[in-house]
Amino acid sequence: MCCFITALLLVGPRFATIVWWLIDSARFTAALDGFLIPCLGLIFLPWTLLAYLVAWQPEVGIQGFGWIVVILGFLVDLSAYSGGYGNRRRISGYTRH
């Protein structure tokens, strides 16, 4: 079950971003310039990219509470990369392979 949740957290935001891009590619074009930054965001910081797209508003960009949403997305990305590795010692009976 733990592997399923980890896989869902790693694949979930990427899948959601790709589906959103297929449905509303004009928002992506307006919010993100070029190809490199969205591609890197999709690979390395998918929650941050998704939060940025949610918080971005046409003609305004990101203001106020939108930056808090982006920061929360970044913190979720950081926790996804560093969250579970150190907790393995707490599980009784866990052996390293």
Residues 61-89 pLDDT 10s: 999 999 999 999 999 898 877 765 555 56
Structural domain includes residue 97: no
Structural domain includes residue 96: no
> How large is the average pLDDT for residues 29-43?
89
Structural domain includes residue 46: yes
Q: Residue 64: its pLDDT value, please?
A: 93
Residue 65's alpha-carbon distances to 9, 57, 85, in angstroms, are 24, 12, 32
Residue 36 has pLDDT above 70, yes or no: yes
- The domain total for the chain is 1
Q: Which residues of 58-73 are buried (b: 16+ CB within 10 A; e: fewer)?
A: eeeebeeebeebbeeb
Structural domain includes residue 43: yes
Residue 43 lies in domain: 2-90
- 27 vs 81, more confident: 27
In contact, 69 and 59? CB cutoff 8 Å: no
Structural domain includes residue 13: yes
Structural domain includes residue 95: no
Structural domain includes residue 30: yes
pLDDT-derived band at 49, boundaries 50, 70, 90 = very high
Please name the residue that has the structure tokens 């305004």.
60
